[in-house]
Amino acid sequence: MAVAAPAAGPRALAVAALLLAAALGAAPSRSAAQAAIPPLTGPVVDAAGVLSRGDEERLAALARAARGGEGGQGVQLQYLLVRTLEGEPIEDYSIRVAEAWKIGTRGKDNGVLVTVAVDDRQVRIEVGGGLEGGLTDVQSSRIIRGAIAPAFRQQRYADGLYDAGVQILGALGALPQGVDARRAVRPQVRVPSLFVLLLFVVAFVIRVLTGFGPRRRRSLWWGGGGPWGGGGPWGGGGFGGGGGGGWSGGGGGFSGGGASGRW
């Protein structure tokens, strides 16, 4: 005759629950993963190793001319290429990099960061708060679609980044002398429709009523079709490592403006 197993007592159940909780707590969390930020060494940081020395010098020359030389007060155009973000959203990573590298001039917020994750086939244009009026999210998305994505599909990374830089600076009215302006995107002034105006009014009212709520980033995403809204809570935090041989501008503000995309 079968003998029934004794029922587990409260103490045994409590021990089992503690062991289960400890096991779950020790399990790695993908959502908490953060990709490493390489050190800032200049206007072009190619941690992915896809640019030649000549490519880097060409891009760096464009960035330095836009800035007005080392320590200048013009637009700080920064390029970063990495292999993978290890699952971290590119919006969060770009904000962390911008804050860690202190891109842009404090008080001017005049930095633009172009982040490329080669193996992930993702790219983002992060725009400093002081430049968002000249380089809108829509314009950033167009630059990704028109300049970056077509070149990147052919692995012409330097060409895509250079053309994107020219178009970014052209949209901001900061194109250096001697650079082919025909590649620049001219700022477009369009009258928004009544529906768009109503959306802005509603968003403004909601922002006023919930002004002390959590701050969120907004951006455009393009994945081969059209731009669509993005966002999410701010990443970032207190990361050091500005440096860059005097290239860091001291830290301008970034409010999440820009666009992301794939190729």
Whether residue 1 is contained in a domain is answered as: no
Whether residue 30 is contained in a domain is answered as: no
Whether residue 8 is contained in a domain is answered as: no
Query: For every residue of 47-97, which 3-state class applies, written as one string?
Result: CCCCCCHHHHHHHHHHHHHHHCCCCCCCCEEEEEEECCCCCCCHHHHHHHH
Chain mean position to CA 79: 11
* Look-up of token digits 């096991």: 23
Whether residue 3 is contained in a domain is answered as: no
Structure-token pair, residue 202: 């509603």
Number of domains in the chain: 1
Whether residue 121 is contained in a domain is answered as: yes
Whether residue 62 is contained in a domain is answered as: yes
Return the pLDDT at 82: 99
Q: Which residues are CB-neighbours of 32 under 8 A, at least 6 positions away? A: none
Whether residue 157 is contained in a domain is answered as: yes
Return the pLDDT at 215: 40
Read off the amino acid at residue 154.
Q
Whether residue 124 is contained in a domain is answered as: yes
Do residues 105 and 128 lie in contact, with contact meaning Cβ atoms separated by under 8 Å?
no
Full pLDDT tens readout for the chain, 263 residues: 555 555 556 565 555 555 555 544 544 444 458 999 999 999 999 999 999 999 999 999 999 999 886 556 789 999 999 999 999 999 999 999 999 999 998 888 999 999 999 999 999 999 999 998 999 999 999 999 999 999 999 999 999 999 999 999 999 999 988 787 666 554 444 445 565 566 666 665 555 554 444 344 545 555 554 433 333 333 333 333 344 445 566 666 787 889 999 99
pTM attached to this predicted model = 0.68
CATH code, domain with 135:
3.10.310.50
Q: Which domain holds residue 191?
A: 36-262
Return the pLDDT at 117: 99
Rounded Cα gap, residues 168 and 136, in angstroms:
10
